[in-house]
Amino acid sequence: MATGVEVVPLALGQVTPRRGPFAGKRAPIHAFLIRDPGGPFLVDIGAGSGHDGIDTLYEQDRIALTDALAATGCAPAGIAAVINTHLHFDHCGENRLFAGGPIYVQAAEYKAAAAYAYTVPEWFQFPRAIYEQLTGEAEIASGVSVLQTPGHTPGHQSVLVETEGGLAIIAGHAAYTAAEYADREPAPGGDWDDAAYERSLALLRALAPGRVYFSHDAVIWER
Ligand SMILES: [Zn+2]
Ligand SMILES: [Zn+2]
């Protein structure tokens, strides 16, 4: 029984690449608040702002995390822990609002993020950044756990939440859209490892969730 536990999507605007294979293709960005007696927890935190390199590569139409959180009655100081699905700039951009942590991330992702141009270094590392590095499946609180779902990146993880309505999965970027999760459209490509991506997606489908949430699609998949 998971009374009152719920997943609340936070719409954080969108980014549009100015160049490359996805030029002009708008990507909506979402974070997720998990209301839970042991929490609340935040899954991803969107992109940051004021970085010349990112502004050169992307057009941003951004909703600040603090504003989106305020609309739910929460503030960063009230968040018990952050879970990053992965450390690309559009998922960890305001991690520094959560200095003092903890921020849960897979060890493989933490390692990958140190590579040149993987993410915005100062959005990833900052004073009092406390990353809890996980290896594979881990329980964050009763009824809230993470599962390693590599493919988009080497250390991507998805979040499983036991809610009153059954199992909810915050897939993150393990699938790009709900239609892709439902096998109605192909993955856009450009991921780290396509075979691992397909295996991770199969793993999530096999869990037979009631609902699935995606970082880059406002559509929630429902059984
Ligand atoms: Zn990514
Ligand atoms: Zn993403």
CA 65 / ligand 2 centre spacing (Å): 16
In a domain, 48, yes or no: yes
What pLDDT is recorded for position 2?
62
Token readout for 196 is: 């691992």
CA 137 / ligand 2 centre spacing (Å): 21
Of 190, 172, 202, the closest CA to residue 23 belongs to 190
In a domain, 46, yes or no: yes
What pLDDT is recorded for position 206?
98
In a domain, 159, yes or no: yes
CA 91 / ligand 2 centre spacing (Å): 6
DSSP 64-126: -HHHHHHTTT--GGG--EEE-S--SHHHHTTGGGGTT--EEEEHHHHHHTTSTTSS-HHHHS-
CA 124 / ligand 2 centre spacing (Å): 15
User: Looking at the DSSP assignment, which residues form a beta bridge with residue 26?
Assistant: none
CA 31 / ligand 1 centre spacing (Å): 13
What is the three-class DSSP state of 180? Answer: helix
Q: How many domains does the chain have?
A: 1
**Contact in structure between 162 and 5 (CB atoms under 8 Å):** yes
Which of the ligands is closest to the CA of residue 216?
2
Structural domain boundaries enclosing 178: 6-222
126-162, pLDDT tens digit by residue? Answer: 999 999 999 999 999 999 999 999 999 999 999 999 9
User: Which residues have CB under 8 Å from 74's CB, separation 6+?
Assistant: 33, 40
In a domain, 193, yes or no: yes
- State pTM to two decimals: 0.96
In a domain, 58, yes or no: yes
Check which CATH number belongs to the domain holding 179 and give it.
Answer: 3.60.15.10
CA 97 / ligand 1 centre spacing (Å): 20
CA 1 / ligand 2 centre spacing (Å): 32
What pLDDT is recorded for position 157?
98
CA 75 / ligand 2 centre spacing (Å): 23
* Residues of the chain where predicted confidence (pLDDT) is lower than 70: 1-2
In a domain, 187, yes or no: yes
In a domain, 1, yes or no: no
In a domain, 61, yes or no: yes
